[in-house]
Amino acid sequence: MEYLKTRTVTSRRRFLTTLAAGMALGTVVSTGLAAPALATVATESGTDLTGWTTVVGDGVYAAAGQAPVSSADIAVENDGADSRLRANVLNRGVMAHVISFKRVTDESMMKTVHRAGFSFQLPYVPSTAGGSRNAQTVEGGLFVWDGVDTRVDHGTAFQWVLNPWQPNFGQILVWTSADGGSWAPGGYLEPDTAWHDVSFMVDPVKQKVQLIIDGVNLKAPYSQTPKDGWGTDVSARLQVEAISVFPGANATWAPQHEVLVRDWRWSRRAVKNED
């Protein structure tokens, strides 16, 4: 497995260079006979996740006698400089899943090249020694839901395995289309308290993605995941997630999980004709 070194500053510079080059394509006109179509570029960014939507994810579990996981078990705290995602805030015998996402709804999203990312940090290192905090995963992704034509979720995502009792502790998994959507090994990132940077690219037209963590390209596949019960809209979303540690079948208490997120960005380049 490829080891992901902590190179946040270098990664961010590389991402910004790529982003600037991509944006320039929307303003430069070729001097040849066939000029490329002009692109419409939209950019958004923020230091924390203010204005994002927070929901309970599907990676949940309640031990015997515990009430099902609800919105009371998760939280996102924004302080301007960063955001703190918290799962199992009540320390119940559950595994809770918090998702925070930003969504843009428009049919043009399936004809748009999306580049996005954010920085993330564990404020503690998960350990089998126990304690008040422990973890199952940290996750992030960029997707475009096509509810009009394909009824498929297009994009890419990563999962950082952080349950210290699992043999693949520290492994980075990437989202694939296999079996209707599943995780596959993609690399390794040693659990620590450093800031890390992730960047995504999703191009639904050319069916290409890019997933980079700390400057390392994980070579993730372009995933297409069917979804039941989703709407008839076309929308893109940037998301970050945290799942608290599995508590065991008879737990009455379990630690909470926290991850910090900051400096998110999202550039969308919609081209009228094929590049």
> How far is the CA of 261 from the CAs of 84, 85, 253, 256, in angstroms?
6, 8, 26, 17
Residue 33 lies in a domain: no
Q: Does any domain span residue 95?
A: yes
Give the range of the structural domain holding residue 13, as residue numbers without chain letter. Answer: 8-27+38-271
- Mean pLDDT over 132-148 rounds to 98
Instruction: Give pLDDT tens digits for 39-64.
Output: 689 999 999 999 999 999 999 999 99
Is 181 a domain residue? yes
What is the spatial distance between Cα 267 and Cα 108, in angstroms, rounded to a whole number?
14
Asked, for residue 32, whether it belongs to a domain, the answer is no
- Tokens representing 145 are 């839901």
Task: Quote the tokens at residue 166.
Answer: 């699992």
Return the closest-CA partner of residue 241 out of 113, 49, 92, 93: 49
CA distance 141 to 199: 9
What end-to-end distance do the CA atoms of the chain give, in Å? Answer: 35
Q: Is 35 helix (H, G, I), strand (E, B) or coil?
A: coil
Domain count, the chain: 1
For residue 227, the domain's CATH number is 2.60.120
**Residue 27 buriedness (CB in 10 A; 0-12 / 13-18 / 19+):** exposed
Mean pLDDT of 140-153: 98
- How far apart CA 13 and CA 159 sit, in angstroms, is 23
Q: Give per-residue pLDDT as tens, 222-240.
A: 999 999 999 999 999 999 9
> Is residue 1 situated within a structural domain?
no
What pLDDT shows up at residue 6?
Answer: 34
User: Is 20 part of a structural domain of the chain?
Assistant: yes
Of 109 and 7, the one with more pLDDT: 109
Mean pLDDT for the chain? 88
DSSP β-bridge partners for residue 84: 77, 260
The mean pLDDT value for 247-260 works out to 98
3-state secondary structure of 20: helix
Indicate whether 2 belongs to any domain.
no
Residue 13 belongs to a domain: yes
